[in-house]
Amino acid sequence: MRFYKYTPALLDPKTLEDTLIGRDLELDNIKRILKSASSGKSFSHPIVIGPKGIGKSHILRIIYHAVNGEIKTKGLNVFKDKFIPVIFSEEEYPGNLTKFIKLIINYLSESDSHVIPQVPEELMKAVTLNAKEREIALDYIRTFRKKSGKILLLLVDNLNDILERFTSEDQSALRDLLMTCDSLLLIGAAPTLFDSIINHDRPLYNFFEIVWLKDLPFDETILLLNRYAELGQRKDLLEKFKKEEAKLRAIHELAGGNPRLILSLYHIILEGDITSVEDTFLKLLDELSPYFRERMKDLSEQQKEIIDIMARAEGLLTPTEIAGRCHVSVNIVLSQIKRLEKVGYLKIAKKHAKKVFYDFNERLFSLWRQMRVEAGRKRLGFVVKFLEMWFTKEELKNQFKDLLREIRQSIYEGDWDKVDGHLNKLWYVKEAMPEIKAKTDGLIRKFNKIKQNVNKMVVYLQSRFKIDHEDVPILSESLITIISGMALSENTNDNTLLWQAIDKAVKINMKAKNESIFFNIIGILLEMRVKDKDFQGIKFFLDEVNSVNQGELLEFLSPFSTLIKYLETKDPEIIDRLRHEERIIVEDMIKMVEGGTTKNIKNSKLKRAETKTKSGRV
Amino acid sequence: MEAPGFVIGNIAKGKDLWDRENEIASLWNALEKSSVLLKAPRRFGKSSIMYRLYENPQPDCTVFFHDTEGMKSPEDFITGIMANALVDSRFKKLFKNTTKWIKNIFKLVEEVDVADIRIKIREGMKGNWQEKGLELISTLKGIDGKIIFILDELPMLVQNIERKHAPQTAVDFLQWFRGVRQMPEMENIRWVVGGSIGIEHILERIKAGTKTINDFHILSVGAFSMEDGTAYVRALLKNEGQLSRIQPAIIEKMLDVVGAPVPYFLQILAYESLNEMRRLKQRTLNKEIIDRAYYEKVLGPASRTYFEHYFTRLKDYYDEHCEHVAKRLILEVARKEKVDKTHLFKLFRQTCKGKLTDETFGHLMTDIENDFYVSYSVKTKTYSFTTNVLRDWWLRYYDLVEE
């Protein structure tokens, strides 16, 4: 679905507009600035500030497309003929002002707009700008409006990353450019206030107009969810949203009004797609790690401890509760919390009677910290909470059953990545259903054990039969298929999957050059079925082999056919009529069935292999 | 007067610069006799006032505006101010009877753009900026009428030179610059120097002495009068808030909250109040909205940066002990709102525990007053905070810190 993206740059203008909820105030402020700039009045340069996932890139993209006249959001398209918008891609981090300017020139050079003043040739050719070219570039920007009648509108996401790399001189030169030149309007975005704009000693101190992007309020969270459902033409969900206000409120609390989190929760609602949501978030949190780690560096040990305690907590805490958990006085905690509030980490979430509950300002930060605090647990507690809130017990039970089925199927297919994905999902579902927790933990252990055993067996069989290099892929696939199926059958007393697996393996194996190895493996596996006295299974399998017209294999497996015949009739003549070599094999198996030992099986296997080699059938 | 709009951070030009006629008139008056040093804390509107001279020069005056904060050497300074002058068509005749290297630059003016000129000037000055710079600036002496160079944030330039080169280079520059200003034949050139960081502190640090700037006429930019503040807020709300009817009580409330009507703070409060009003989907302002905007936005963690430097810069100005005493005295004024001078002196003695002389109290309080923390009322012999916003901020963030 088209809005299934976390990267606004990948969305088309219409979708961006359709999924923009709220932000009227913020866009009004931007509009005011665009209006002032375009009508020759004084204007501020704004920076949109808000935590990750709050929609900064979304807003910048909206401005870009609206000023380009592609959409009409908030009537920003009226500025179509007044500005030439240039948007930096998120990965562009010019390390100094010269590179910054060069980047602008590059964007303009590539533009096919006819109204852009001719970019001087030496600038277009230059890979980097020398002192002279920088002066020429600066003059080009300064005179842009005079020459074109338009203002260059720069939209720069992660402006903090760019400005923090600039030297003070570069920052001053930029300030000078922005302050005295009416050809340029810069709209930046950053996840938080940063040193270059808040440090009194820096040239750009308090220079920008801060446009705060706040969490969405509850009514806008509902609007956003409804909008997704509308766009996906999911009438059922629209109906459900109408009826489930309490649940929606819980989702809102959980996502903290962060649009990116809301979107990810919507994915789970829509498809139960826990794994992909989790993957995306873990990836996102990993990407954010350097940024959050940098932020943590500024904190004292005590402040870090407070943050960790809050991240680990099951809900919101009061300063008294935090003090109790970190064993220091409430006054100390209070003073540290005040400081954390001041630097933007925490906020007062709610006041109830005399109690004040604190929460993280950035929901993603708390998730990141939670992951780090709970060592080794790379899972997201908020997904569990969401499942508990949103799905009924019955729905969760159904998901549970579906998952078990899918796990079995994936094991049979030998697709261990899929198995891992399903097991991961199963973890979330069982966490959300405490009553099945113990049972599911057992199942998860069992599936993991199967996986381990199967892997071991595959390695063993491959090494024992010294499979030719070119046969490895085919044989491996058939081996995994059979062994997986067998492993599953062992645990469920249901052989269907095993036989399906063998059937599939037989078909795969027809492509292999060295079929003797495969025959031997089948033999070993069938012996193991004999040990388990799964005669029905063996019979079924032989019928299957017969049905897929594998005459040679059937002949190779004739001792098993004889065994079955004998066990069904108990007629000793069946054994007597056998040739010597085959009789020994069958007798060994009969001994195994009627009280045989491991030793017997081993001997029997060896004998059989030797005998068959001698008999020239292989 | 036309209605102003919000201009946060950038220079307020045209109608957006509200009612600074007195300051502008004082500036023009002072410029009749000497160059001017315009002092004010950051965000008091200094740059906008200076920019007005550039926007609306008096007849026979040519005004150039330079933000010198980005310059880092005397060469940058000379290049910056002269390149713009050179491309001004009115000045072309000046360069005909001058030295070869300047003539060469002048030739460039006919042929190429300002970028080349800057490079040529820089090359021409290599190794001898004092002499060559003087030579270049001296070409301006023959101009009819006055030239006014506005240099915003000059103290930052001095600080940059000190850091990038050496304190002595900064002293040399200041002395050279004073020499330029003092040349009798340069009587037609005036300089308006603006600076928000305490230039005296920088001079003291680099040991330049105040004589390097004592020829400047010093003007300070303060807050609006209450009357102007009232009119400004009304105009701002009307224009930006599209409010047709604004209760006088609302404007009073805003002025009351901010205290001394510094335009920047009035603007920030009006901006946040209108945002809050819209956020709450209200159609008009009320006192609760203003309080909320003030305490949660203007003073809130998100805006802590407005005043952070007032706290942190004390560390740069004083040694550890003196810094501690200064902070304690400021905190006392914040807590008590109005503090009797003798009470403060007693507290000074108590806090410094004999480590500072009694005379230091006078210096300290003068510094604190000069740096716009507190104001002294001769009439009541009391100190109080210059702005309510700063006082409330201090109490919010540093009440517990410096006991």
- Look at residue A130 in the predicted model and tell me its pLDDT: 78
Residue A281 has pLDDT above 50, yes or no: yes
Lowest mean pLDDT among A528-542, B28-42, B117-131: A528-542
- Residue range A55-67: average pLDDT? 94
CB atoms within 10 A of CB A420: 16
Contact B241, B363 (CB under 8 A): no
With a CB cutoff of 8 Å and minimum separation 6, the contacts of B174 are: B158, B203, B208, B212, B213
What pTM was estimated for this model as a whole?
A: 0.69
Judge whether A210 is closer than 8 Å to chain B, CB to CB.
yes
- Residue range A153-179: average pLDDT? 89
Mean pLDDT of chain B: 85
Contact A358, A368 (CB under 8 A): no
B288 alpha carbon, distance to own chain's centre? 33
Q: Between residues B325 and B243, which one has the greater pLDDT?
A: B325
Residue A276 has pLDDT above 70, yes or no: no
Contacts of A169 in chain B (CB under 8 A): 70, 72, 160
Contacts of B304 in chain A (CB under 8 A): 198, 342-343
Lowest mean pLDDT among A147-151, A458-462, B53-57: A458-462
Contact A445, A427 (CB under 8 A): no
What's the CA gap between A532 and B317, in Å, rounded? Answer: 88
Query: What is the DSSP track for B379-395?
Result: TTTEEEES-HHHHHHHH
Residue A441 has pLDDT above 80, yes or no: yes
Q: Between residues B30 and A117, which one has the greater pLDDT?
A: B30
What residues are paired with A152 via a beta bridge? A84, A184
What's the CA gap between A198 and B366, in Å, rounded? Answer: 27
Q: Is A156 helix (H, G, I), strand (E, B) or coil?
A: strand
Judge whether A43 is closer than 8 Å to chain B, CB to CB.
yes
Where are the alpha helices (H) located in A164-300, listed in sequence order? 168-180, 195-198, 218-231, 235-243, 245-255, 259-271, 274-297
Residue A408 has pLDDT above 50, yes or no: yes
Lowest mean pLDDT among A177-191, A376-390, B4-18, B321-335: A376-390
- Look at residue B193 in the predicted model and tell me its pLDDT: 93
Contact A457, A465 (CB under 8 A): no
Longest dimension (CA), chain A: 110
Judge whether A139 is closer than 8 Å to chain B, CB to CB.
yes
Lowest mean pLDDT among A49-53, A544-548, B211-215: A544-548
Query: Which helix or strand (DSSP H or E) is residue B192 part of?
Result: strand B189-195
What residues are paired with B342 via a beta bridge? none
Judge whether A136 is closer than 8 Å to chain B, CB to CB.
yes
pLDDT digit string, tens, across residues A310-321: 887 777 889 999
Contact A570, A585 (CB under 8 A): no
**With an 8 Å Cβ cutoff, are B114 and A135 in contact?**
yes
**Searching chain B, which residue's CA lies closest to the CA of residue A49?**
B302
What's the CA gap between B47 and A40, in Å, rounded? Answer: 18
Give me the percent of chain A exceeding a pLDDT of 90.
Answer: 16
What's the CA gap between A230 and A1, in Å, rounded? Answer: 12
What's the CA gap between B145 and B90, in Å, rounded? Answer: 11
Q: Residue A563, class by beta-carbon neighbours within 10 Å (0-12 exposed, 13-18 middle, 19+ buried)?
A: buried
Residues in chain B: 403
**With an 8 Å Cβ cutoff, are B70 and A203 in contact?**
yes
Q: Is B3 helix (H, G, I), strand (E, B) or coil?
A: coil
pLDDT digit string, tens, across residues B263-319: 888 998 999 999 999 888 888 899 999 999 998 888 876 666 677 777 877 877 777
- Look at residue A605 in the predicted model and tell me its pLDDT: 44
Contacts of A342 in chain B (CB under 8 A): 301, 304, 397
Contacts of B373 in chain A (CB under 8 A): none
Distance from CA of B115 to the nearest CA of A (A): 5
Sheet holding B382-385, edge to edge: B338-340, B382-385, B374-377
**With an 8 Å Cβ cutoff, are A343 and B42 in contact?**
no
**With an 8 Å Cβ cutoff, are B9 and A36 in contact?**
no
- Residue range A170-185: average pLDDT? 89
pLDDT band at A152 (very low <50, low <70, confident <90, very high): very high
Contacts of A193 in chain B (CB under 8 A): 302, 305
- Look at residue A496 in the predicted model and tell me its pLDDT: 58
Q: Is B207 helix (H, G, I), strand (E, B) or coil?
A: coil
Optimal mutation site among A179, A202, A211, interface B, most CBs of chain B within 10 A: A179
Residue A121 has pLDDT above 50, yes or no: yes
Query: Which helix or strand (DSSP H or E) is residue B193 part of?
Result: strand B189-195
pLDDT band at B112 (very low <50, low <70, confident <90, very high): low
**With an 8 Å Cβ cutoff, are B115 and A135 in contact?**
yes
Contacts of A42 in chain B (CB under 8 A): 5, 7, 10-14, 16-17
- Residue range A291-308: average pLDDT? 78
Q: Residue A9, class by beta-carbon neighbours within 10 Å (0-12 exposed, 13-18 middle, 19+ buried)?
A: middle
Which of A44, A212, A342 is opposite residue B10, by nearest beta carbon?
A44
Query: Which helix or strand (DSSP H or E) is residue A347 part of?
Result: strand A346-352
Q: Between residues A362 and A423, which one has the greater pLDDT?
A: A423
Contacts of A213 in chain B (CB under 8 A): none
pLDDT band at A56 (very low <50, low <70, confident <90, very high): very high
Residue A224 has pLDDT above 50, yes or no: yes
Optimal mutation site among A29, A159, A200, interface B, most CBs of chain B within 10 A: A200
Optimal mutation site among B6, B53, B276, interface A, most CBs of chain A within 10 A: B6
What residues are paired with A357 via a beta bridge? A350
Where are the alpha helices (H) located in B286-379, listed in sequence order? 287-292, 305-317, 320-336, 341-352, 358-370
Which of B17, B69, B116 is opposite residue A172, by nearest beta carbon?
B69
- Residue range A120-135: average pLDDT? 79
Residue A305 has pLDDT above 70, yes or no: yes
Judge whether A22 is closer than 8 Å to chain B, CB to CB.
no
Size of interface A-B (CB pairs under 8 A): 124
What's the CA gap between A488 and A135, in Å, rounded? Answer: 73
Q: Are strands B36-39 and B217-220 parallel, antiparallel or unpaired?
A: parallel
pLDDT digit string, tens, across residues B43-60: 788 889 999 999 899 988
Q: Is A553 helix (H, G, I), strand (E, B) or coil?
A: helix
Most confident residue range from A22-31, A288-297, B201-210, B306-315: A22-31
Q: Are strands B189-195 and B36-39 parallel, antiparallel or unpaired?
A: parallel
Optimal mutation site among B84, B305, B397, interface A, most CBs of chain A within 10 A: B305
Lowest mean pLDDT among A195-199, A449-453, B96-100: B96-100
ipTM of this complex prediction, to 2 decimal places? 0.74
Residue A10 has pLDDT above 60, yes or no: yes
Q: Distances in Å between the alpha carbon of A497 and those of A81, A82, A447, B301, B398?
A: 67, 68, 15, 62, 72
Q: Residue A125, class by beta-carbon neighbours within 10 Å (0-12 exposed, 13-18 middle, 19+ buried)?
A: exposed
pLDDT band at A601 (very low <50, low <70, confident <90, very high): very low
- Look at residue A38 in the predicted model and tell me its pLDDT: 94
With a CB cutoff of 8 Å and minimum separation 6, the contacts of B346 are: none
Q: Are strands A151-156 and A83-87 parallel, antiparallel or unpaired?
A: parallel
DSSP letter assigned to residue A86: E
Give me the percent of chain B exceeding a pLDDT of 70.
Answer: 90
What residues are paired with A47 via a beta bridge? A188, A210
**With an 8 Å Cβ cutoff, are B278 and A25 in contact?**
yes
What's the CA gap between B265 and B233, in Å, rounded? Answer: 11
- Look at residue B34 in the predicted model and tell me its pLDDT: 92
Residues in chain A: 618
Optimal mutation site among A25, A26, A42, interface B, most CBs of chain B within 10 A: A42
Residue A293 has pLDDT above 80, yes or no: no
Contact A58, A73 (CB under 8 A): no
C-alpha count within 13 angstroms, C-beta hemisphere, residue A505: 30
Contacts of A25 in chain B (CB under 8 A): 275, 278-279
Optimal mutation site among B52, B64, B67, B75, interface A, most CBs of chain A within 10 A: B67
Mean pLDDT of chain A: 79
- Look at residue B308 in the predicted model and tell me its pLDDT: 75
Contact A289, A368 (CB under 8 A): yes
Q: Residue A278, class by beta-carbon neighbours within 10 Å (0-12 exposed, 13-18 middle, 19+ buried)?
A: buried
- Look at residue A189 in the predicted model and tell me its pLDDT: 94
- Look at residue B286 in the predicted model and tell me its pLDDT: 92
Contact A327, A312 (CB under 8 A): no
CB atoms within 10 A of CB A453: 13
**With an 8 Å Cβ cutoff, are A203 and B42 in contact?**
no
DSSP letter assigned to residue B209: -
Q: Residue A312, class by beta-carbon neighbours within 10 Å (0-12 exposed, 13-18 middle, 19+ buried)?
A: middle
Contacts of B42 in chain A (CB under 8 A): 200, 205-206
Distance from CA of A141 to the nearest CA of B (A): 12
Most confident residue range from A325-329, A601-605, B72-76, B107-111: B72-76
**With an 8 Å Cβ cutoff, are A42 and B312 in contact?**
no
Of the candidates B116, B192, B129, B134, the one whose C-alpha atom is nearest the C-alpha of residue B161 is B129
**Searching chain B, which residue's CA lies closest to the CA of residue A179?**
B10
Distance from CA of A203 to the nearest CA of B (A): 7
CB atoms within 10 A of CB A23: 23
Q: Residue B193, class by beta-carbon neighbours within 10 Å (0-12 exposed, 13-18 middle, 19+ buried)?
A: buried
**With an 8 Å Cβ cutoff, are A200 and B308 in contact?**
yes
What's the CA gap between A144 and A142, in Å, rounded? Answer: 6
Residue A446 has pLDDT above 90, yes or no: no
**With an 8 Å Cβ cutoff, are A42 and B309 in contact?**
no
- Look at residue A471 in the predicted model and tell me its pLDDT: 53
Query: Which helix or strand (DSSP H or E) is residue B38 part of?
Result: strand B36-39
Distance from CA of A184 to the nearest CA of B (A): 13
Q: What is the CA radius of gyration of chain B?
A: 24
**Searching chain B, which residue's CA lies closest to the CA of residue A347?**
B301
What's the CA gap between A524 and A44, in Å, rounded? Answer: 80
Q: Between residues A449 and B281, which one has the greater pLDDT?
A: B281
- Residue range B359-375: average pLDDT? 84
Contact B92, B106 (CB under 8 A): yes
- Look at residue A606 in the predicted model and tell me its pLDDT: 47
Residue A401 has pLDDT above 90, yes or no: no
Distance from CA of A27 to the nearest CA of B (A): 12
Residue A323 has pLDDT above 60, yes or no: yes
Contact A170, A28 (CB under 8 A): no
Q: Are strands B61-67 and B338-340 parallel, antiparallel or unpaired?
A: unpaired
Which of A49, A172, A344 is opposite residue B70, by nearest beta carbon?
A172
